[in-house]
């Protein structure tokens, strides 16, 4: 009879090798998931800022009143403000930023900034230049 | 007896548990990788779009100012035609803008852009 004591099957070695090769990939994936879970609205915010800037470049007579931004766009008076945790452009219900707790607008050196908070994070975006 | 022995023989077979877990993990990682790729592509596109937009903001702000002052004239960059202004940008990010004006030719109502190219008129 063959004595198998003290030997390792090649199958176990291959399994071990496969598992070890997958560990970095798994760790990377988990870290990506956790990062994405922390900032689920990140991409939406980038797109929203772009769309908002594109509208505001064609707008006239901006003014900030009561945490809302008023401006004239295509000869219509528009209002950008926070309603039900969404930053919305009215008239209509064009939603730009979602899951927002607080928001405020301010002007500095002819640039209008939007500052908003989501959870514990605060964001500031330059949205228009006049 | 011989058939039963053959059925019990598992030499050369991967454990079903191991295989199922392996397939599951590979599937999950594939989905995550594809989603990340799409997100990354989106961010790259937005970065390029923002570069164009920065350029457009500068040009449109300049045109708005000139329209309000009433001194917008044709030059190598602008071409005014009825209620439209054609802007040809040949700098870092070449593109052609077509701005639509109101009936008084003072306010810009909208604009379209042909990015990555400029059109010979």
Segment B2-61, tens digit of pLDDT:
556 555 665 656 677 778 888 888 898 888 888 888 888 888 888 888 888 888 888 888
The C-alpha of B109 sits at a distance from chain A's nearest C-alpha, in angstroms, of 5
Cis peptide before B9 (omega within 30 of 0): no
Instruction: Verify whether the Cβ–Cβ distance B43 to A18 is below 8 Å.
Output: no
Cβ of A25 within 8 Å of Cβ of B107? The answer is no
For position B12, what pLDDT does the model report?
59
Q: Is B114 on the interface with A (CB under 8 A)?
A: no
What dihedral angle (degrees, nearest 10) is formed by the CA atoms of B86, B91, B93, B95?
20
Q: The domain containing residue B22 runs over which residues? A: 2-115
Q: Answer yes or no: is A5 within a domain.
A: no
Q: Which residues of B touch A33 (CB under 8 A)?
A: 32
Phi, psi of B9 (to 5 degrees): -75, 115
Closest CA to B101 of A75, A63, A89, A54: A75
The shortest CB-CB distance from B46 to any of A25, A50, A130 is to A50
Q: Is this structure's pTM higher than 0.80?
A: no
Residue A42 pLDDT level (bands cut at 50, 70, 90): confident
Of A5 and A83, more confident:
A83
Residue A82 domain-assigned (yes or no): yes
Q: In chain A, how long is the greatest CA-to-CA distance?
A: 96
Task: Note the residue count of chain B.
Answer: 121
Tell me the nearest-neighbour CA distance from B57 into chain A, angstroms.
6
* β partners of residue A60: A72
Q: What share of chain B is helix, strand, coil (3-state, %, to 5)?
A: 50, 20, 30
The answer to the question of residue A21 being in a domain is no
* % pLDDT > 90, chain B: 0
Range of the domain at A47: 42-129
Per-residue pLDDT at B48: 87
Residue B121 located in a structural domain: no
Question: In Å, how far is B116's CA from the nearest CA of chain A?
Answer: 18
Say how many domains are in chain B: 1
Q: Which of residues 55-94 of A touch B (CB under 8 A)?
A: 57-58, 60, 74-75
What's the structural domain count of chain A?
A: 1
Tell me if chain A has a CB within 8 Å of the CB of B36.
Answer: yes
pLDDT of res. A113: 92
Q: Is residue B120 part of a domain?
A: no
Buried b / exposed e across B21-54, counting CB within 10 Å, b at 16+?
A: ebeeeeeebeebeeeeeeeeeeeeebeeeeebbe
Inter-residue contact A114 to A127 (CB < 8 Å): yes
- Is the distance from CB of B70 to CB of B63 less than 8 angstroms? no
Residue A117 DSSP SS3? strand
List, for residues B62-90, the tens digit of each pLDDT value: 888 888 887 777 777 788 887 888 888 88
């Amino acid at each position: 009879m063959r004595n198998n004591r003290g030997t390792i099957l090649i199958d176990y070695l291959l399994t071990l090798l496969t598992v070890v090769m997958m560990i970095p990939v798994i760790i990377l994936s988990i870290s990506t998931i956790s990062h994405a879970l922390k900032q689920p609205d990140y991409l939406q915010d980038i797109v929203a800022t772009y769309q908002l800037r594109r509208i505001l470049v064609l707008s006239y007579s901006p003014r900030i009143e009561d945490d809302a931004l008023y401006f004239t766009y295509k000869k219509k008076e528009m209002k950008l403000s926070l309603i039900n945790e969404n930053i919305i452009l009215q008239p209509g219900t064009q939603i730009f930023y979602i899951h927002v707790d607080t928001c405020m607008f301010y002007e500095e050196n002819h640039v209008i900034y939007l500052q908003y908070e989501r959870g514990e994070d605060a964001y500031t975006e330059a949205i228009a230049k006049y | 007896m011989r058939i039963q022995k053959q059925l019990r023989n598992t030499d050369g077979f991967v454990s079903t548990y191991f295989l199922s877990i392996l397939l599951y993990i590979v599937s999950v990682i594939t989905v995550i990788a594809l989603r990340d790729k799409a997100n990354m592509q989106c961010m790259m596109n937005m970065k390029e779009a923002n570069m164009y937009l920065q350029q457009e903001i500068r040009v449109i702000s300049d045109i708005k100012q000139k329209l309000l002052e009433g001194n917008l004239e044709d030059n190598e960059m602008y071409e005014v035609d009825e209620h439209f202004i054609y802007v040809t940008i040949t700098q870092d990010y070449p593109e052609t803008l077509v701005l639509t004006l109101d009936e008084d030719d003072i306010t810009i109502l909208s604009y379209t852009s042909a990015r990555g190219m400029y059109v010979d008129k």
